Amino acid sequence: MPPSESLDALLARIHAAERGPHVAAAFDYDGTLISGYSAGAFYQHRIRSGDMGPIELARTALIARRGIADPSEFATFFTFALEAWIGTEEADLEALGDKLFKGTIASKLHHEAFALVEAHREMGHTLVLASSAMRFQTEPMARELGIEHVLSTEIEIVDGRVTGGVVGKPLFGPEKARGLRDLAQAEGLDLEQSFAYSNGREDIPFLEAVGHAAAIEPDAELWAEAALRGWPVLRCAPPPSSIPGPKDVARTAAFYGGLLGAMGIGTGVGLLSRRRSAMSDIGMGMGTDVALKLAGVDVRVVRGSEHLWSHRPAVFIFNHQSKMDPMVVTKLIREDFTAVGKAQAKNVPVFGQFFQLAGMTFIDRSDNAKAREALEPVVEAIRGGKSLMIAPEGTRTPTPRLGPFKKGPFHIAMQAGVPIVPIVLKGIHTVQSRGGQLIHPGTVEVVVLPPFLTDRWKPRTVGIHADEVRDAMLEILRDWPTATNGKGAH
């Protein structure tokens, strides 16, 4: 079997290729872009809903164990699986696909495959997601990653409802290769200069269709074929398990226990001294130190630690992927800061009450007028010497891709007359997934960018400045530094 290639070697191959949209980068979905199969999330949904009978469950488990051998067998299985959705409204299936993607599937993204997608985007290549699955499974990921072309098995929709039929042939085996060739002809793609990635033996024709093929987490037969053809093989780190083990439960309990203990001390000191700031400075600053240490989470600033202190007060912004992000950023900022959270956070037992006592601002995102009104005291708090910690994306993103920025944090900084200090996090996914509750040991690396001064900003140009800041964060995420600069945080 061929030795595994490093991710850096595959990235170098991409950067050595021709630039431009005539070069395609086509990715298989299940097992390639993500770990496992997106259909599993749909089956789990049906099992929880009580909609999956024992015969269907047993048959599905059998096929999952032994795999599918040829296109005709896949067509039979696909039709069988599709029967469960007969009569379902198209809009309902689209909504379910989005829900399952954000709640389950997105966390299975191979971060190595994500890095390949981003490298191809940087080269201006045409991105393609090709899968035998339904578009309801594939399109949410394509939208999230900005993949413009989706090839999938087309199911029949009549009067807005699923009929149970398939339009044409399922996009499995040779049909996926045909779909890619058809797209190449329609879009003027040069397949000899193009790239394709897959994990399964059924996609050998798909990989043969391009000049640069690679196997990602391949099955045994594809691995053997890759050895014969000289195709590189990439192994991916498994995503954090969503199934709690004893150590995971113990670490998570230790994390929250340490945080709650420090919050209790902070609350006591704050009430005795009548200083609200003591609650957050002790409860969260010291609390995150203790909690992260107990959970086995190491935080390392690889560049720019001096920018955490060079301009205070400031508006500290960060890329937001999980519940762990604010904990890491709190550890970095440490003192004299406030934060903004969604209104629902007030109802979280113990933590919600502590955040209210500590002076955190809560906003109702469903009401823009109330949200703007709620932020007015934040500007005054910053003018009074408090820094602000806020995620400009507004909510956690399903994948590592940096989402669009809201203008609110930038208006706040401009009105308060303080700089924007971007904090860029990498490796959060190894510690906690977007929707996960468990905390895993791991290392989070941090880059703190130089402050963006806001004294010359104008309201009409805030959107331009927000884009400039986002571009700077994207550049760091694309070309992550390795040398440690500054004392760091551990």
Which of residues 246 and 99 earns the better pLDDT score?
A: 99
Cα separation values, 38 from 101, 140, 255, 422, Å:
8, 11, 31, 34
Looking at the chain, the whole-number percentage of residues with pLDDT higher than 90 is 54
Q: What is the pLDDT of residues 226-253, one digit of tens each?
A: 999 999 999 998 766 656 678 878 888 8
Q: Residue 340 pLDDT more than 90?
A: no
**DSSP single-letter state for residue 368:** H
Given this model, what pLDDT does residue 400 score?
A: 86
Given this model, what pLDDT does residue 317 score?
A: 97
Dihedrals phi, psi of 307, to nearest 5 degrees: -75, -10
Q: Which of 59-73, 84-98, 336-350 has the lowest mean pLDDT?
A: 59-73
Domain with CATH 3.40.50.1000 in the chain: 4-234
Full strand arrangement of the beta sheet holding 420-426: 297-303, 442-448, 420-426, 315-318, 387-390, 337-342, 361-363
CATH of domain 4-234: 3.40.50.1000
The tokens describing 273, both together, are: 């001294």
**Bridge-based pairing state of the strands 337-342 and 442-448:** unpaired
Q: What is the pLDDT of residues 191-200, one digit of tens each?
A: 999 999 999 9
What are the DSSP calls for 168-218, one per residue? Answer: S--S-THHHHHHHHHHHHHHT--GGG-EEEESSGGGHHHHHTSSEEEEES-
The mean pLDDT value for 40-61 works out to 70
Given this model, what pLDDT does residue 488 score?
A: 42
The mean pLDDT value for 483-490 works out to 44
Amino acid at the residue 186 = A
Q: Which of 13-22, 145-154, 241-250, 356-365 has the lowest mean pLDDT?
A: 356-365
Given this model, what pLDDT does residue 395 score?
A: 82
Q: Going by CATH, does the domain composed of 246-478 fall within 3.40.1130? A: yes
Given this model, what pLDDT does residue 341 score?
A: 67
Mean pLDDT of the chain, nearest integer: 85
Model confidence at 56, pLDDT cuts 50, 70, 90, reads: low
Q: What is the pLDDT of residues 123-158, one digit of tens each?
A: 999 999 999 999 999 999 999 999 999 999 999 999
* Cβ atoms < 10 Å from Cβ of 160: 10
The mean pLDDT value for 362-388 works out to 73
Given this model, what pLDDT does residue 40 score?
A: 82
Domain with CATH 3.40.1130 in the chain: 246-478
Given this model, what pLDDT does residue 69 score?
A: 58
The mean pLDDT value for 108-126 works out to 95
User: 3-state class of 166 per DSSP?
Assistant: strand
Question: Catalytic residue numbers?
Answer: 28, 30
Q: What is the pLDDT of residues 386-411, one digit of tens each?
A: 899 999 998 888 888 899 999 989 99
Q: Residue 72 pLDDT more than 70?
A: no
Q: Which residues pair with 447 in a beta bridge?
A: 303, 424
Q: What is the pLDDT of residues 172-208, one digit of tens each?
A: 999 999 999 999 999 999 999 999 999 999 999 999 9
Q: Residue 98 pLDDT more than 90?
A: yes
Rg of the chain taking only CA atoms, in angstroms: 25
Given this model, what pLDDT does residue 39 score?
A: 84
Where do the DSSP E strands lie in 367-457?
387-390, 420-426, 442-448
Please state, in angstroms and rounded to a whole number, the distance separating the CA atoms of residues 257 and 265. 12
Model confidence at 377, pLDDT cuts 50, 70, 90, reads: confident
Model confidence at 485, pLDDT cuts 50, 70, 90, reads: very low
The tokens describing 83, both together, are: 């029967």
C-alpha dihedral sign at 105, 364, 469, 313: negative
Q: What is the pLDDT of residues 78-92, one digit of tens each?
A: 777 788 889 999 999
Q: What is the pLDDT of residues 443-462, one digit of tens each?
A: 999 999 999 999 999 999 99
Please state, in angstroms and rounded to a whole number, the distance separating the CA atoms of residues 228 and 213. 13
Is 52 exposed, middle or buried, given 0-12, 13-18 or 19+ CB atoms closer than 10 A? Answer: middle
Q: Which of 17-21, 275-279, 412-416, 436-440 has the lowest mean pLDDT?
A: 275-279
Given this model, what pLDDT does residue 270 score?
A: 60
**DSSP single-letter state for residue 284:** I
